[in-house]
Copies of this chain bind each other. A is one copy, B any other.
Amino acid sequence: MSAERTTAAAGAGGGAGDTYDVIVLGGGPTGENLADRAHAAGLSAVLVEHELVGGECSYWACMPSKALLRPAAARDGARRVAGAEGAVTGPLDAPAVLARRDAFAAHWRDEGQVRWLDGAGIDLVRGRGRLAGPRRVVVDGGRTLTARHAVAVCTGSRPVLPDVPGLAAARPWTSREATSAKEVPGHLVVVGGGVVGVEMATAWRALGAEVTLLVRGDGLLPRMEPFAGELVAASLREAGVDVRTGTGVREVRRAADGGPVTVVPDPGPEVTADELLIATGRAPRTEDLGLETVGLTPGDWLAVDDTLRVTGVPGGWLYAAGDVNHRALLTHQGKYQARIAGAAIAARALGRPVLGSDRWGAHSASADHHAVPQVVFTDPEAAAVGLTAAEAERAGRRIRVVDHDLGAVAGASLYADGYRGRARMVVDLDREVLLGATFVGPGVGELLHSATVAVAGEVPLARLWHAVPSYPTISEIWLRLLETYRGD
């Protein structure tokens, strides 16, 4: 592929007719990984990005949110163990937490990411890229890029504001402002009980804000097993958060010159606060991508096959990975899709067999269907992979649900006094493999990957019986779940 590498180098020099093997729209983790995979396979690749290279995750999502959450989790870990508890006397140092967060967000500068691209041999074009017919991308200012093999849309998603009177004018926070705020609000109203809502309620409450959490549905974390949201809600309430489920927002008021924001819940009394975070949903960043030039509809999510190729595009040159395809709106899953898509693009470009229809094959993002993991860094942590019981039932699987108290495990009781948590596994009775698992409790975040390996690996339960958990770790919950399943 040396010729193409040369082409890529020439392309880096500018000009209206730059040609690359692969053009990637969007320089977040998904786009970076896709370009890197393609380049590692010998293809030339260019990334087009009009904001910061590194994307949402690096600056306004995963990294800053976890940086905001970790200090409280670390402190609370010590507070929950007699003998260490007394050593923890002070509150969190909010300015220090925010400064640490700033560092993890690279101070919202992307030099480090650009250096990584340079080192990886991937070109960068700054500006907004739009499709202009098949395999062609026009970047702001008129520069035109042509893809020899593929264009990949990795532009992600953006928060959506619901249609509530006064809301837009009240300049609410979205996930961006919630993760990058420079000071702790005195009172924060959070609307939305999904991951962003509960993580940000947790973080800002721990940093000293008064927090009101308004959730339209019956509970928090509705995509997980119900006990996840129940345990997190109980803990938020204990921490002093005013959690109101079954509550929408009727109206929002804020003076044009700023000042406090008043939220009128539905039902319930008004709340006046310093800031309002809306975390109720996301939309694909596809409005302004020129999708109409290739027969697609701007603003739509992009449907893809398991090689991440957009369906219904003649020639099969258009791919979409990450949030924008709506398969799983998670950074790690976008990166996974990027690895698969990069490999599939390279295989097609090089005339090699493409194993897109092989379940768990090198070119099939099978995990999107079977083994999507997620850790919510609340207190307690909520970690899940695969199908919930309800999802498995809806899918018509013959299942057995096995629950166990996590606090009954020796490793958990050693980890924290009065440990509260719960675990569930969902067993496929026809194949005797795990369809899903959920762990909710302090310190379960790293435990999840054992379930992810079991689900993605389709390890039979009879073999899991030989996967001995080390004593005394929280992982011994596995033994308890398996014993319960066997009816012991």
Given contacts A80-B74, A97-B83, A478-B449, contact A467 B457 (CB under 8 A): yes
> Considering only CB atoms, which chain B residue lies closest to A452 in the complex?
B467
A5 at the interface (CB under 8 A from B): no
Mark out the residues of chain A between 440 and 487 whose CB falls within 8 Å of any chain B CB in the assembled complex: 443-450, 452-457, 459, 462-476, 478-479
Among A37, A86, A360, A383, residue most surrounded by chain B Cβ atoms (within 10 Å) = A86
**Contact status B449-A456, CB under 8 Å:** no
- Determine if A474 and B457 form an interchain contact, defined as CB atoms under 8 angstroms apart: no
Interface residues of A in 68-88 (CB under 8 A from B): 70-72, 74-75, 77-78, 80-88
Report the interface size class on chain A: 35 or more
A470 x B448 contact (CB < 8 A): yes
Which listed residue, B62, B93, B415, touches A70 by the CB 8 Å rule?
B415
Q: Which of A338-393 contact B (CB under 8 A)?
A: 339, 360, 362, 366-367, 371-375, 383
Q: Is A258 an interface residue (CB 8 A)?
A: no
Q: Is A330 an interface residue (CB 8 A)?
A: yes
CA distance A99 to B83 in the complex (A): 9
Chain B residues with Cβ below 8 Å from A462 are 360, 362
Per DSSP, are chain A's interface residues mostly helix, strand or loop, or mixed?
Answer: helix
Which B residues are CB-close (under 8 A) to A465? 339, 362
Name the B residues within 8 Å of A40 (CB-CB).
Answer: 488
Encoded as 1 (CB less than 8 Å from any B CB) or 0, chain A from 401 to 426 comes to 00000000011011111000000000
Q: Check: A244 CB closer than 8 A to any chain B CB.
A: no
A57 interface contact, C-beta 8 A: yes
Within the assembled complex, what's the spacing in Å between the Cα atoms of A476 and B97?
24
Report the separation of the CA atoms of residues A104 and B419 in the bound assembly, to the nearest whole angstrom: 14
Once bound together, how far apart are the Cα atoms of A392 and B71, in whole Å? 40
A255 at the interface (CB under 8 A from B): no
A336-B468 in contact (CB<8A): yes
Given contacts A457-B464, A463-B456, contact A92 B100 (CB under 8 A): no
A119 at the interface (CB under 8 A from B): no
- Chain B's nearest CB lies how many Å from the CB of A481? 12
Taking a contact as CB atoms under 8 Å apart, the answer to whether A62 and B471 are in contact is yes
A71 surroundings in chain B (CB, below 8 A): 81-84
Most chain B CB atoms below 10 A, which of A36, A83, A333, A464: A83
> Could you give 21 example pairs across A and B, Cβ below 8 Å?
A74-B77, A74-B78, A74-B81, A74-B84, A75-B78, A82-B96, A87-B88, A89-B89, A104-B414, A332-B470, A332-B476, A335-B479, A360-B466, A371-B468, A372-B468, A373-B468, A445-B470, A446-B474, A453-B457, A456-B468, A457-B459
Residue positions of A touching B, CB distance < 8 A: 36-37, 40, 57, 62-63, 66-67, 70-72, 74-75, 77-78, 80-94, 96-100, 104, 330-333, 335-336, 339, 360, 362, 366-367, 371-375, 383, 410-411, 413-417, 443-450, 452-457, 459, 462-476, 478-479, 488
A-B contact sample (14 more), CB < 8 A, given A71-B82, A360-B466: A70-B414, A70-B415, A74-B84, A75-B81, A87-B90, A88-B88, A104-B413, A373-B470, A446-B446, A449-B475, A449-B478, A450-B452, A456-B463, A457-B457
